[in-house]
Amino acid sequence: MKRDVIIACDFAGREETLRFLDQFENEKPFVKIGMELFYGEGPQIVREIKARGHEVFLDLKLHDIPNTVKKAMRNLAALGADMVNLHAAGGSAMMRAALEGLEAGAKGARPRLIAVTQLTSTSEQMMQEELLIPRPMEEVVARYAQNAQNSGLDGVVCSPLEAKAVKEACSQAFLTVTPGVRFADDDVGDQKRVTTPARARALGSDYIVVGRSITAAADPVTAYRRAVKDFVEGEEA
Ligand code: C5P
């Protein structure tokens, strides 16, 4: 298994993003591009960051009818993204269609396809009372992960705290991509359930997605190296 740290590049625009990435010089961190940057700058931002030698996780969380998702995924694969995602709530037919689209659009290996189970902003109470899903959160996350696996997907986005339950419900090889990571001495910000890179490693995450703990650090390159050391190499810096 190849653990890695993905930097959430939640910047408003291209200039700011490229200025941030310039600091890394020859290191080429795995980068997450979200809706804000993609909708603001368009597909070219993906090609540009890929051309600079980064792996790219395109976090657009697709959720629509199967045919639409299939065609959208074909276009995302053609951009050269390494990892893309969708909502497992769209159902198995949509997830299978997404895979077909990725296979049709990919120039080489298809991007890894990851499902969002339940957003970490969704509380159990909201899920039960507003969405009328009358089950415990962990059961819903595990079942959505199984649906994703049975549809041929590569993994899920989940809290590091749910990584173990997902691995048990699916398999050790089924990927867990986990946001909500902070260094022990950081501000938690708006994240509710946070863990450190070292703890995420112990809990079995395959990829941690780290935003502000790196992007807002006084020295982002040092913060990135610290996350890699703790999470990938397994030593406390
Ligand atoms: O700055 P921070 O480390 O909290 O950033 C986490 C990143 O992961 C953000 O881009 C956020 O949108 C994303 N994310 C999340 N929780 C999810 C899915 C994605 O925090 N369930």
Ligand 1 close to Cβ of residue 8 (< 6 A)? yes
The one-digit pLDDT tens for each residue of the chain (237 residues) are: 689 999 999 999 999 999 999 999 899 999 999 999 999 999 999 999 999 999 999 999 999 999 999 999 999 999 999 999 999 999 999 999 999 999 999 999 999 999 999 998 889 999 999 999 999 999 999 999 999 999 999 999 998 989 999 999 999 999 999 999 999 998 877 777 789 999 999 999 999 999 999 999 999 999 999 999 999 999 754
The end-to-end CA distance of the chain, in Å, is 22
Catalytic residue among 2, 28, 61, 192: 61
Rounded distance between C-alpha atoms, residue 130 and residue 139, angstroms? 17
Residue 236 is predicted with a pLDDT of 58
Ligand 1 close to Cβ of residue 10 (< 6 A)? yes
Cβ atoms of residues 75 and 102 within 8 Å? no
Rounded distance between C-alpha atoms, residue 71 and residue 86, angstroms? 13
> What number of other Cβ atoms are within 10 A of residue 94's Cβ?
23
**Residue reference for tokens 């691995």:** 167
Q: What is the DSSP letter of 12?
A: S
Residue 14 is predicted with a pLDDT of 97
Two tokens, residue 171: 């398999």
User: Cα(211) to centroid of ligand 1, in Å?
Assistant: 7
Q: Whose CA is nearest to atom 15 of ligand 1?
A: 179
pTM (two decimals): 0.95
Ligand 1 close to Cβ of residue 223 (< 6 A)? no
- Which ligand 1 atom sits closest to the C-alpha of 181? 3
Cβ atoms of residues 4 and 209 within 8 Å? no
Cβ atoms of residues 181 and 194 within 8 Å? yes
Q: Are strands 175-178 and 155-157 parallel, antiparallel or unpaired?
A: parallel
Q: What is the DSSP letter of 207?
A: E
- Give the per-residue SS3 of 144-156: HHHHHHHCCCCEE
